[in-house]
Amino acid sequence: MPYDVLAIRRYPVKSMGGESLASVVLDQRGLAGDRWYAVADDDGRFACGKDSRRFRRRDGIFDHRAATVPEGVIVTGEDGSWRVGDPDLDAALSRALGDPVRVVEEEDVPHQDAGSVSLVGTATLEWCADRWGLDADPRRLRVNLLVDTDEPFVEEGWVGREVAVGNVRLRVIEGIERCRTIDVAQDGTGARGRWLRPLADERDMCVAVYADVTRPGTLRLGDVVTPS
């Protein structure tokens, strides 16, 4: 059964709020410009909502959003807006996060997590909202694609399969295991209701799926999603 792309969202700076798009180019890495930048400290760990070898928890990162403009990427926070590459941006983020940090481009360490593109179905979000009484805004999941579906978790049945999205092809690789970030107010959401406990009890911590790009191209709102 075919489905439609209802929303496209890109996150120019990892962990910051993102931007809605009408269309986007996909290359082998994913959405062009998605998570191309990250905020790193002197240990090379990225600002995020959790602690790990790769990340350092810095919830102040969620008070900022990033948007792509012809001149580059603009970051906006409570104290103003700055273009990525402006030393004043690094200084403002260092004050906000409480340690010296800087915005860095992706180099040897990928800024993406386990997949190039993330997506979730509307029926999955509606099921979670009804069952658990929470705000299932897709921005809380930080997914790239929102797909109009009529069966909860149907996208999990695409794991291991290729999916055509307009002239793009994706291979769905796995479900997305969630961390505390899903319960943090971010990207314009208020985080009403908690995801993590019910996900742990009923869903093995997973909601939404990752996919890799097998045929690059341009993806648009309204494109038909057809699992093979």
Tens-digit pLDDT string for the chain (228 aa): 789 999 999 999 999 999 999 999 999 999 999 999 999 999 999 999 999 999 999 999 999 999 999 999 999 999 899 999 999 999 999 999 999 999 999 998 889 988 999 999 999 999 999 999 999 999 999 999 999 999 999 999 999 999 999 999 999 999 999 999 999 999 999 889 999 999 999 999 999 999 999 999 999 999 999 999
Per-residue DSSP letter, 223: P
107 HSE (CA, 13 A, CB side)? 7
Dist CA 102 CA 194 (whole Å):
31
For the chain, the residue count is 228
Whether pTM exceeds 0.85: yes
Q: In 3-state terms, what secondary structure has residue 59?
A: helix
Chain CA centroid to CA 81, Å:
22
What pLDDT, on the 0 to 100 scale, is given for residue 199?
Answer: 97
CATH architecture of the region 3-9+113-227 = Beta Barrel (2.40)
Nearest to 203 by CA among 177, 174, 166: 177
Q: Both tokens of residue 42?
A: 């002197």
Q: Distance (Å, rounded) from C-alpha 141 to C-alpha 206?
A: 11
Check residue 191 and give its pLDDT: 87
**Which tokens is 137 given?**
């805004």
